[in-house]
Amino acid sequence: MEFLCTSDHLPESRSRGFDINGRNLLAVRREGQVFVYRNRCPHRGVPLEWQTDEFLDTSGSLIQCATHGALFLIESGECVAGPCAGASLNSVACREDARGIWIEPASED
C-alpha cells in the first residue's frame, strides 16, 4: 500500500486532489468512509476539479466534472447525469488506519 495522507487532511464531506507517483487522484470522505478515484472524466479524459481540491457539486453529495457537468455517485463513481451517463470513474482501492489513508499501488496499465 502507498501512503495517501493523514486522516485529518480529508475531513468529512470534503474532497481533495493528489498526485501520487504521477497518478492524478481524487479522494472524498462521506459518512466516515473514504473513496478514491483516478481524477479523469470518462467522457474526455480531463481532470474533474473546477478549483484545487474542489470535486463536489454545490450540495456536496456528488462528484462533478467541471468541464461537462457530469455527476458521479461518491460511493461507486457511477455517472448518473451528463455526457458519460452509465460510465464510471476508475476506483482505487484504499484503506484507513491510525496512521492515515493508504491506496493500492498503481498496476501496469
Domains defined for the chain, CATH in brackets: 2-103 (2.102.10.10)
pLDDT at 81 over 70: yes
Q: Which of 27, 21, 24, 23 has its CA nearest to residue 5?
A: 27
Give the CA distances from residue 38 to residues 13, 41, 102, in Å, rounded to whole numbers and listed in that order: 18, 9, 14
pLDDT at residue 33 in the model: 97
pTM above the 0.75 mark?
yes
pLDDT band at 106 (very low <50, low <70, confident <90, very high): confident
pLDDT band at 108 (very low <50, low <70, confident <90, very high): low
